[in-house]
Each structure stands twice: as C-alpha cells, then as structure tokens.
C-alpha cells in the first residue's frame, strides 16, 4: 500500500501533451538521447519522456527537479540543502547517492555533466535558459557508456528568426529570491541564447543559507550547410551551508533544525565551475552526417565536514576539510547515414568518445587548536586521473511495413590512476592504478499493428564503475584508495507499448527488469564520508504507466504510476556502528535496496484559458528504507502544490504574473534520505507550506 499522504510537485508541460499538438506534433519528437537522427520517440523501442519548459509558467526555474516530477520511473528528491545536489534516481539506479548524481548520465546542450568515472552534478544546469528536458530509461541507456542507469538531457534552443527576451523575479518563503534574464535571437548566420540568474535563500532549515550564480550562453554559427554551437557555462555557489541529516527523533521533534554538529563545525561547501564547449554538425551528400563535440572545464570544490577531532588522531585519517581542483575535458566524433537498405528505411551511426578528469585532492584538519570549522594542517595530497576511451555503433532498420529493429553496442575502457604526494612514516604511499573495460550490447524490436499503436521489446547490458569519490575511502578505514572495488554489471530487459489518439491523447506502459552483479553499496557513511563495497547480486523490476487525457478544449489530465521492487539477491556483511571497520552484521537476501520507493503515482489536472492558467497535481510516494538492513525507514509522504498564472498582452511584450503554494496542506514529510549514514542521521525533512509569487516579462522582436 502507498504510505503517507499525497504529494503534488511543480508542474511541467510535456511536449507530448501540448493542447495544440495532436498526432502531427508527436510525429516530430526525436529524442536525441537515443542518438537517432530520423526516428521519432514513438517508434523507438525505449521509454522516453520529453518535457517542454515553455515560458516557465508558475515555476520559479530554480532547479532541475521542478521539471522532473511526474515522470514515471524517475524520482527527484529535493534535499532542502543547496550544499548538496538534488537526489535523482531512475528505476532505482542512483538512489544510494549521498552526494551528486550517481548511476545516471547527464548532459547539458550535448556536453556531458557526468565525469568519466560516472559521478555527475546538475547544480550548474541553467533552467532559465533551457527549453526542454529529455529522459531516457531502460536498456538503451547503456549506449551512453559507464554508469548509464538512465539518461537526462537539458537543451536550450534558438529561435528560427527574430529576437526575444525574458526578465523575471520571484520571492518565496524562507527568504528566497530569484532574479534572472534570458535573451535569444537569430538572424543571418548567427543565433544566440544567453541566460543569467542569481538565487539567494536563507533556507527552510537552520544552517542552510545559500547563494547560486549562473550564466549560460549558446551561440550558433552556420558556416555553409553545417552548424557550429559554441557553449559557455559559469556557476558559482560560495559557502553554501550544510545542515546535515537528522536522526528520527530530531526530525520528528523539529524538522527545521540543523544537526548540532553542523553548527559546531560550520559545515559548508563552495563550488565554482567554468566550462567551454563546441558542437559542430555537418550534413553532407547522400544522407551522411558528421557530429563533433569537444569541451573543457574546471570545477573547484571546498567542503567542511563534521568529522570529530578525535577521529583525526588516526595518522591514516585525511582530515575534515576536502579541497578538490578538477580539470576535465573530452571529445566525441560521430558519423551517421540515413538511407535505404534492401528498399527499406535504414539509419547507421558509429563514433568514438574520450573524456578525462584530472583531480588534485587535498585533505586538511577541520580545526586549529580549539577552533572548529577552520582549515588546519594538511592530511592528504594526491593527484588523481580518470579517463575513458569508448567506441560505439548502432543501426535502425525498418525491416518490414510493421516491424523495425534497433541494435547497438559500446565498448568502454575506464582507467583510474592516483599519485600520492603525502607520504610520512605513519602514512604510506597510497599510489595505484586500475583499469575497467566492458562491452555493452543492446537490441530492440518494434511492432506497429496500426498507425496509433506500437509494441516493443528491448534487451541490453550495462555497467557501472566506482567513482573516484567511492574509491576515495577504504571500507576498512585504512589509507589509500579502494581499488579492490569491482564494476557492477547489469542485464536489462523491457517490454512496452505506446498508443496515441487525437487531440494529444496517449498512453505508454512498460514492464522492466534489471539484474545486477557486484552491486555497489555503501559500506559505511560517517562524518560526511562514504566508503563502498561490492554487495553481490541485486534486482530492480517493475512497471510504469503514463497517460495524457484531454478532457475538454481547456482541460487536460495527466496520470503516471510506477511500481518498483528493488532488492539485494545475495546476503552480505556490513558495518552498522560509527567507527566500525570490520563488517559483522549480515544483510539478508531479499532485503530492499535503501532509498528506493516501491510505488509512486501522479495525477495532474491543468486548465488553460485565454489569460488565466491554473494547475494542480497529486503525487503519492511510498516509504523507503534508509539502511541496508532495513531497520529504519522514512514514511511515504506528500504535499499538495497549487499554481495560477495570469497573462497581460502589451504591444510586442507580455507580462506574466504567477503564484504557487508548495505543500499547501502543510504536511510534515521526509523529503530525502542519506543512505547508511553511520551516525543514524538518515533524514532530510521537506519544506513546510511555502508561497512563491513572481513577475515575468516577455518581449518578442522582429527578424
């Protein structure tokens, strides 16, 4: 049964459900995550979702999670903690991540936001400049390489002609403000999309104040028949306070409080990222096309943890301050051809991909004398590198009037290397290296019994290496990196159907199963540090269904439901006490994987008039366990969000006012969990009733 009450999330406008669309608009949707140039999402043997961000509506456009609620199989958990990224999981992959995004591949305008080791982040995603989000679930995610439990892509578009601008400001509860602007245009041989925003908040919880500055620019040049996109991204979040998780007693007593050690050690995190990219697409004779992508960037992270002073007395301990300088870059070259094979439509593509991350990792004590939460003596100094070199190919063939086939494969080689520069009499040289390599084939078959119906089956293999954050600390508490970790490998299968009717009506459903060997699980999580181990076999299986139902010219209903059973298939030992280095507690086979909700359901009702728009959505999420033994769990939870928008036309411009109420029923709930937190601080409470109001000015100019 569904636990807790009901949640309504921020509202999105899926492309597949636009009221003016109907079947013709659906035909034109090509999900680029499938890497097919000419095949629509409807004819792809995979579960896909495309969310149009439109003109923003009543969303403040502060976080990616605003656009993801209501997508089946995907769970986006807002942590009320901007020192940490949104928790994202797709069909249970990524749910165990205690920081960043794990197990999923992320892209912004075609540039990876996931490093070659599989660790990603979405904090720098510019929602104000974005126009759509694509989500790919199931076996074909493996074509994106390491750690592909699913794919999320953010895209910013350029107008065909003319210029437009958007300026907005909003205020919300907990002293939150967001101001931003976007300018787009196209003319002649150049187009552009530039967006900037500043978010400031005191935060719902104590010790959770943050500021985020974002700038994103996309410039398109059209040399000849090709297009060249130049991309720039800047993100800065200085000294975002981290309230940490709470114990069950603390969360139920006062959900707004911070953990006492958070204020004692002034836990906080600073992130700055600058990135440049270029994407060149060149169509040439007889259906051939080349696409080349290259990018470089730098991401600096400084984080102050609540690691006790006594724990740092161990000479092998690397301190309570993490200082990371990351330089990264990569390139992808892909050729594709669209034509006929044996008189039937055919598309073939092949490519090579290489990425590299160079990380200078230093650790310092988080105290000087009696002063806590300050940078002290050096305790760790190493230079790490991780790089991948991949080759991939795929082919789609409309083999018969009612049948089409999609096959592909990717070979990935991921290399880790660490050079230790902090060597003492009591702290030995921890340098080392390891290489992981896998080939991941996929295949899918589509049957079209009618123009309105598609039935499909797909199968594939995927793999997931440990990230540098996961090999960074050994489970036994010893010095050096955990190079004994093995990559997890997964066998994926999916059966699905897609139906579409008139006026934008549609239903999609899928049955899926993913069997994983050498599942990576949290061994212990103490003082903001996680160590990992291979836990044997695991299984994630379930079903998804979503429906778009036009009720009237002005009314639309969207429904989504997910059932997901995620369990460990083998027993394995773990640590359950703080400071434990020798696991003695056995996790039984059949135990639920923590952080994964068994059920979630969404119902969204939208009304659209000429000047007024309103929406309400209901989302129910069942309980989740918070540790491997399943001894504690966060109850199912819910909130109700309501929104209203009013438009005023003013010449060539349009003024839009919006208001929304998040958690309108003011229900207490646990918004996210920190899996296997060694001190029992598993719980991150969600916000109470929160009001947001804002104004947005749209201007459109001629060509």
- E strands present in 535-598: 538-550, 555-568, 572-574, 585-587
Residue range 249-297, pLDDT digits in tens: 999 999 999 999 999 999 999 999 999 999 999 998 899 999 999 999 9
The pLDDT assigned to 574 comes to 78
Residue range 408-420, pLDDT digits in tens: 999 999 999 989 8
pLDDT over 70, % of the chain: 93
Q: Nearest to residue 566, comparing CAs of 530, 545, 535? A: 535
User: 526 vs 335, which has greater pLDDT?
Assistant: 335
The pLDDT assigned to 27 comes to 43
The pLDDT assigned to 48 comes to 93
Given a contact cutoff of 8 angstroms between Cβ atoms, the answer to whether 558 and 70 are in contact is yes
Select the CATH number that applies to the domain covering 6-701 from these four: 3.10.180.10, 3.40.50.1820, 2.40.170.20, 1.10.287.3610: 2.40.170.20
The pLDDT assigned to 5 comes to 31
Given a contact cutoff of 8 angstroms between Cβ atoms, the answer to whether 649 and 674 are in contact is no
User: 504 vs 391, which has greater pLDDT?
Assistant: 391
Q: What gap in Å lies between CA 329 and CA 333, rounded to an integer? A: 14
Across 87-106, average pLDDT: 87
Across 186-209, average pLDDT: 94
pLDDT level of residue 387 (50, 70, 90 thresholds): very high
**Residue ranges per domain, the chain?**
6-701
Across 370-386, average pLDDT: 94
Q: What gap in Å lies between CA 166 and CA 694, rounded to an integer? A: 13
Across 141-165, average pLDDT: 90
Q: What gap in Å lies between CA 409 and CA 406, rounded to an integer? A: 11
The pLDDT assigned to 533 comes to 81
| Residue 546 predicted with pLDDT over 50 | yes
Q: What gap in Å lies between CA 506 and CA 495, rounded to an integer? A: 17
Tokens representing residue 550 in the block: 């036009």
Tokens representing residue 658 in the block: 């919006």
Q: What gap in Å lies between CA 39 and CA 47, rounded to an integer? A: 14
The pLDDT assigned to 8 comes to 33
Buried b (16+ CB within 10 A) or exposed e, 429-462: ebeeebebebebebbbbbebeeeeebbbbbbbbb
pLDDT level of residue 580 (50, 70, 90 thresholds): low
Given a contact cutoff of 8 angstroms between Cβ atoms, the answer to whether 218 and 229 are in contact is yes
β 150-155/105-108 pair status: parallel
Residue range 123-145, pLDDT digits in tens: 899 998 899 999 999 999 999 98
Q: What gap in Å lies between CA 401 and CA 395, rounded to an integer? A: 17
The pLDDT assigned to 585 comes to 83
Across 341-357, average pLDDT: 96
Tokens representing residue 195 in the block: 């967006």
Residue range 615-650, pLDDT digits in tens: 999 889 999 999 988 999 999 988 899 999 999 998
The pLDDT assigned to 452 comes to 96
Q: Residue 396: is it exposed, middle or buried by C-beta count within 10 angstroms (0-12/13-18/19+)? A: buried
DSSP state of 678: T
Residue range 284-301, pLDDT digits in tens: 889 999 999 999 999 999
> To which H or E segment does residue 253 belong?
helix 248-253
Residue range 350-359, pLDDT digits in tens: 999 999 999 9
Quickly count: other Cβ atoms within 10 Å of residue 604's Cβ. 24
The pLDDT assigned to 242 comes to 97
β 506-517/520-526 pair status: unpaired
Given a contact cutoff of 8 angstroms between Cβ atoms, the answer to whether 200 and 177 are in contact is yes
The pLDDT assigned to 11 comes to 33
- Find where tokens 């069942």 sit: 622
pLDDT over 90, % of the chain: 68
| Residue 50 predicted with pLDDT over 80 | yes
Given a contact cutoff of 8 angstroms between Cβ atoms, the answer to whether 324 and 300 are in contact is yes
CA distances from residue 433 to 293, 325, 414 in whole angstroms, order as listed: 28, 20, 11
| Choice among 9-18, 511-520, 521-530, 536-545 with the minimum mean pLDDT | 9-18
Mean pLDDT rounded to a whole number for the chain: 89
Q: Residue 253: is it exposed, middle or buried by C-beta count within 10 angstroms (0-12/13-18/19+)? A: exposed
Given a contact cutoff of 8 angstroms between Cβ atoms, the answer to whether 629 and 587 are in contact is yes
Q: What gap in Å lies between CA 303 and CA 319, rounded to an integer? A: 11
């Amino acid at each position: 049964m569904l636990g807790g009450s009901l949640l309504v999330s921020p509202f999105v406008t899926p492309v597949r459900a636009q009221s003016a669309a109907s079947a013709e608009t659906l035909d034109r949707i090509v999900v680029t995550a499938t890497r097919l140039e000419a095949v629509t999402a409807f004819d792809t043997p995979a579960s896909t979702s495309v969310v149009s961000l439109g003109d923003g509506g009543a969303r403040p456009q502060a976080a990616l999670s605003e656009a993801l609620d209501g997508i089946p199989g995907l769970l986006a958990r807002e942590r009320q903690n901007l020192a940490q990224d949104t928790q994202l999981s797709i069909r249970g992959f990524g749910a165990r991540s205690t920081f960043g995004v794990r197990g999923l591949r992320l892209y912004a305008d075609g540039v990876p936001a996931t490093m070659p080791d599989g660790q990603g982040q979405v904090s720098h995603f510019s929602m104000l400049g974005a126009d759509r989000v694509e989500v790919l679930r199931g076996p074909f995610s493996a074509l994106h390489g390491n750690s592909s439990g699913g794919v999320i892509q953010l895209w910013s578009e350029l107008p065909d002609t003319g210029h437009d601008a958007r300026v907005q400001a909003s205020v919300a509860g907990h002293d939150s403000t967001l101001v931003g602007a976007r300018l787009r245009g196209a003319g002649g041989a150049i187009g552009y999309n530039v967006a900037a925003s500043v978010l400031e908040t005191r935060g719902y919880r104590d010790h959770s104040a943050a500021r985020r500055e974002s700038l994103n620019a996309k410039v398109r040049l059209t040399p000849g028949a090709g297009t060249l996109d130049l991309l720039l991204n800047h993100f800065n979040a200085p000294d975002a306070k981290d309230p940490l998780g709470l114990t069950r007693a603390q969360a139920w007593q006062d959900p707004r409080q911070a953990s006492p050690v958070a204020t004692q050690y002034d836990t906080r995190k600073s992130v700055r990222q600058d990135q440049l990219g270029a994407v060149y697409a060149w169509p040439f004779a007889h259906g051939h096309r080349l696409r080349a992508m290259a990018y470089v960037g730098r991401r600096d992270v400084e984080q102050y943890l609540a690691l006790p002073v006594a724990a740092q007395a161990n000479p092998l301990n690397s301190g309570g301050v993490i200082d990371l300088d990351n330089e990264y870059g990569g390139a992808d070259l892909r050729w594709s051809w669209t034509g006929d094979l044996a008189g039937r439509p055919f598309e073939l593509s092949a490519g090579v991909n290489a990425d590299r991350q160079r990380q200078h990792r230093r650790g310092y004590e988080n105290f000087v004398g009696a002063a806590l939460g300050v940078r002290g003596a050096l305790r760790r100094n190493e230079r790490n590198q991780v790089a991948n070199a991949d080759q991939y190919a795929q082919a789609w063939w409309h083999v018969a009037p009612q049948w089409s086939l999609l096959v592909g494969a990717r070979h990935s080689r991921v290399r880790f290397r660490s050079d230790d520069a902090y060597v003492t009499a009591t702290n030995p040289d921890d340098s080392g290296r390891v290489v992981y390599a896998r080939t991941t084939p996929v295949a899918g078959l589509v049957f079209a019994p009618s123009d309105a119906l598609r039935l499909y089956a797909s199968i594939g293999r995927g793999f997931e290496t440990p990230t540098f954050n996961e090999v960074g600390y050994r489970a036994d508490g010893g010095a050096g990196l955990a190079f004994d970790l093995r990559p997890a490998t997964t066998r994926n299968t999916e059966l699905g159907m897609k139906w579409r009717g008139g006026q934008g009506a549609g239903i999609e459903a899928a049955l899926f199963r993913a069997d994983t060997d050498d599942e990576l699980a949290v061994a212990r999580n103490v003082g903001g540090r996680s160590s990992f181990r291979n836990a044997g076999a695991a299984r994630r299986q379930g079903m998804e269904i979503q429906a778009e139902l036009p009720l009237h010219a002005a009314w639309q209903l969207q429904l989504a439901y997910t059932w997901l059973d995620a369990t460990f298939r083998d027993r394995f030992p773990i640590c359950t006490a703080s400071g434990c280095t020798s696991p003695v507690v056995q996790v039984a086979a059949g135990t639920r994987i923590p952080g994964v909700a068994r059920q979630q359901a969404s119902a969204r009702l939208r009304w659209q008039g000429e000047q007024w728009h309103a929406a309400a959505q209901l989302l129910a999420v069942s309980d989740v366990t918070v540790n491997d033994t399943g001894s504690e769990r966060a109850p199912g939870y819910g909130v109700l969000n309501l929104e209203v928008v009013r438009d005023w036309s003013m010449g060539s411009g349009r003024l839009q006012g919006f208001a929304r109420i998040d958690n309108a029923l003011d229900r207490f709930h646990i918004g996210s969990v920190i899996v296997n937190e060694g001190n029992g601080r598993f719980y991150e409470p969600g916000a109470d009733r929160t009001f947001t109001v804002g104004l947005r000015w749209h201007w459109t100019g001629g060509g």
